[in-house]
Amino acid sequence: MLAAVSTRAGRRVLGAIVACVALAACAASPRLQAAPDSSFVALQQRGAVAMGVDQYTSTHVFESLPDGGRIVLQRDSLDAAGTATIRAHMTDIATRFAAGDFTIPGMVHAMAVVPGTEVMAARRAQIRYLMDTLPRGAQVRILTTDSLAVAAVHEFLAFQRMDHRAAGHLH
């Protein structure tokens, strides 16, 4: 059949058919399907331990702002116990970060040093961390006028967005 297709359009159609058949064969074969991302699953499990709520039924937002940024954690549905747990966790995070303690993000991400945290710890006197409640959780607002601290906060939040596969801001 390949030799019988001589027009350019015919070869394109045949190529598309071959590609579709190959994709269908891959999808039908369990051996060829992508394995779950075990590093992300492990991150989610460590996050659940650190934060006290299921990471798959909660939403994180890491938003960079001109004067620092914010970290938002909320339950996806009404959950009074989960909301209280998040608020306690975010209060603890604000207190620890203000003291230059970034061990919780280090544990969650299985890293000795999470990007941005060395500068954030060194410049902690120039950074304020304010916890505020939200309907289904809380946020920590990170505020600074120090340009080096702002850059470090943005590095930290960008890493968090990427590793948690989270949004950058609320709509």
> What digits encode the pLDDT tens for the residues 78-116?
999 999 999 999 999 999 999 999 998 888 778 889 999
> What digits encode the pLDDT tens for the residues 44-72?
677 667 776 777 788 899 999 999 999 99
As given in the structure block, the two tokens for residue 163 are 């590793």
Maximum Cα–Cα distance for the chain, whole Å?
76
d(CA 168, CA 16): 38
Strand arrangement, sheet containing 68-75: 58-65, 68-75, 137-144, 127-134
Q: How far is CA 27 from CA 21, 22, 23, 34, in A?
A: 10, 9, 6, 10
- The pTM (predicted TM-score) of the whole model is 0.74
As given in the structure block, the two tokens for residue 162 are 């990427």
Instruction: For the chain, give every domain's residue range.
Output: 1-34, 38-164
The pLDDT-based confidence of 28 (bands split at 50, 70, 90) is very low
Residue 56 or residue 149, greater confidence: 149
Taking residues 1-28, what's their average pLDDT?
48
Amino acid type, 121: A
